[in-house]
Amino acid sequence: MLIFLTGWGLPLHIAIDSFQHEMVRLLLDSGSDPRIQTKWNQTALHIATENRFQGKNTEEIIELLLENGANVNLQDEMNRTALHGAVWNVNIVKLLLDHGANVNLQDKCSRTALHIATANGIGNNTEEITGLLLAHGAKVNLQDETNRTALHGAVWNVNIVKLLLNHGVSVNLQDKSYRTALHITTAKRKRKRNIWDFTDSFLELGAYDDFQDEIDRIALHDAGKTSERHNLDITELLLEHGANVNLLDKKVFRNMESNRDIHINNKIVLCDMFMAAGYPITKYEEPRDKTQADQKLFEHIQNRKFETLSLSSFSRICIRNTLITASDGCAITSKITQLDLPKQLHVYIERLQL
């Protein structure tokens, strides 16, 4: 029973891949060793757990392998264990965990089972699987080869994000492009319903909204790149928490002018939001070819450039800039409420009333 087939493996592996439950039982009873590996270092357990086209006998086959001494923590040539391949099936995950699967082993891309499970986003049983991994000690802040944590991949599913946050995941870890989960969230265009909730949760837990990625963009850059109303709300939320408009580059309005996906009315609202938060309009660069710009927005910006800033607006900008500097990237909302000022002024400073 220990004769290898060319390149593939043992008859046991073949029987598993074709879901032949009785043949697997017969081979195991005849002495086949479930720990023997193919030339790709895969065991019978790897093959059984990674077959996403699940046969009706898959769970029974895995139970047989485990009962016959299969090692749940053997790694293949990609350093993947059976658990890495099993995160599509909650019952198989339970079986492996009950038999001592190590939830924190990393593959050659430095991904754990938690990375893979959370990246499934809205897959079947993803939330339950994530909960099981966390309950068995999965480390939420392990980073893969791109420096992403499970949180970076989980921003499609609000319940998984909540699970990770409840288990102490850091909201400020950056990937190799220096992007945090907040960057990824505010840049999203699909599954928009929970974006505001994600953003608010991250900010409340201390997410730095002024972290710059590899091309110096902060979360505020991405939040303003759409005509969707929800992103206006997110822009407002970021500003309320102290996003520093001075980190927006001088092309922010030019990019807005040329972006046909943003409705003109929203462009004007975004423009006024940035200016109310203290964006220096003198940084505005006029487009070389005005026929390519939104004339209405261009005229609006030109008119705003020559407006006299009211004392109240000037004071708000000065107070916000001072708080932003003092908070070192943290939310300024709590600092505003501590100011010895009437409540109406707290609201005026925080909410950027136009």
The mean pLDDT of 315-332, rounded to a whole number, is 80
Residue 146 pLDDT > 60, yes or no? yes
- Structural domain contains residue 34: yes
d(CA 28, CA 20): 12
User: What per-residue string of b and e applies to 288-320 under the rule 16 or more CB within 10 Å gives b?
Assistant: eeeeebbeebbebbeeeeeeeeeeebeebbebb
Given this model, what pLDDT does residue 2 score? 40
Domain annotation covers residue 205: no
Give the per-residue pLDDT at 106. Answer: 98
Q: Is the predicted pLDDT of residue 111 greater than 60, yes or no? A: yes
More confident residue, 45 or 224: 45
pLDDT band at 329 (very low <50, low <70, confident <90, very high): low
User: Is 144's pLDDT higher than 90?
Assistant: yes
Cα 110 to chain centroid, rounded:
17
Q: Does residue 75 belong to any structural domain of this protein?
A: yes
Q: What pLDDT does 52 receive? A: 59
Q: Tell me whether residue 1 is in a domain.
A: yes
Q: How far is CA 320 from the centre of its chain?
A: 29
What total of structural domains would you count in the chain? 1
pLDDT of residue 181: 94
Cβ proximity of 185 and 202 under 8 Å: yes
pLDDT of amino acid 121 = 61
pLDDT > 90 in the chain, percent:
29
Query: Can you give the pLDDT at residue 290?
Result: 63
Q: Measuring CA to CA, which residue among 251, 165, 166, 178 is closest to residue 208?
A: 178
Q: What is the per-residue pLDDT for 169?
A: 96
Residue 2 or residue 79, greater confidence: 79
What is the CB-side half-sphere exposure of residue 306 using CA atoms within 13 A? 4
Percent of the chain with pLDDT over 70: 87
Q: Which residue has the tokens 């840049």?
A: 187
Q: What is the mean pLDDT of residues 37-42?
A: 84
pLDDT beyond 50 at 4: no
Answer yes or no: is 94 within a domain. Answer: yes
Note whether residue 150 is domain-resident. Answer: no
pLDDT for the residue 1: 38
Domain with residue 91: its CATH number is 1.25.40.20
What pLDDT, on a 0 to 100 scale, did the predictor assign at position 192?
58
Structural domain range at position 77: 1-102
pLDDT at 189 (0 to 100): 60
Residue 210 contacts by C-beta under 8 Å, 6 or more apart in sequence? 218, 242, 243, 244, 247, 324, 329
Instruction: Indicate yes or no: pTM above 0.75.
Output: yes
Mean pLDDT of the chain: 83
Task: Tell me what the mean pLDDT of segment 153-162 comes to.
Answer: 89
- DSSP category for residue 1: -
> What's residue 124's pLDDT?
66
Q: Output the pLDDT for position 73.
A: 96
Neighbours of 232 (CB within 10 A): 19
Residue 23 belongs to a domain:
yes
Residue 42 lies in a domain: yes
Tens digits of residue pLDDT in 269-300: 888 888 888 888 777 777 666 666 678 888 88
Contacts of 265 (CB under 8 A, 6+ apart): none
pLDDT at 300: 87
Write out the DSSP string of 273-325.
Answer: HHHHTT--GGGPPPPSSGGGS-HHHHHHHHHHHTSPPPHHHHHHHHHHHHHHH
178 — alpha (psi -120 to 50), left (phi > 0) or beta? left
Average pLDDT over residues 164-179: 95
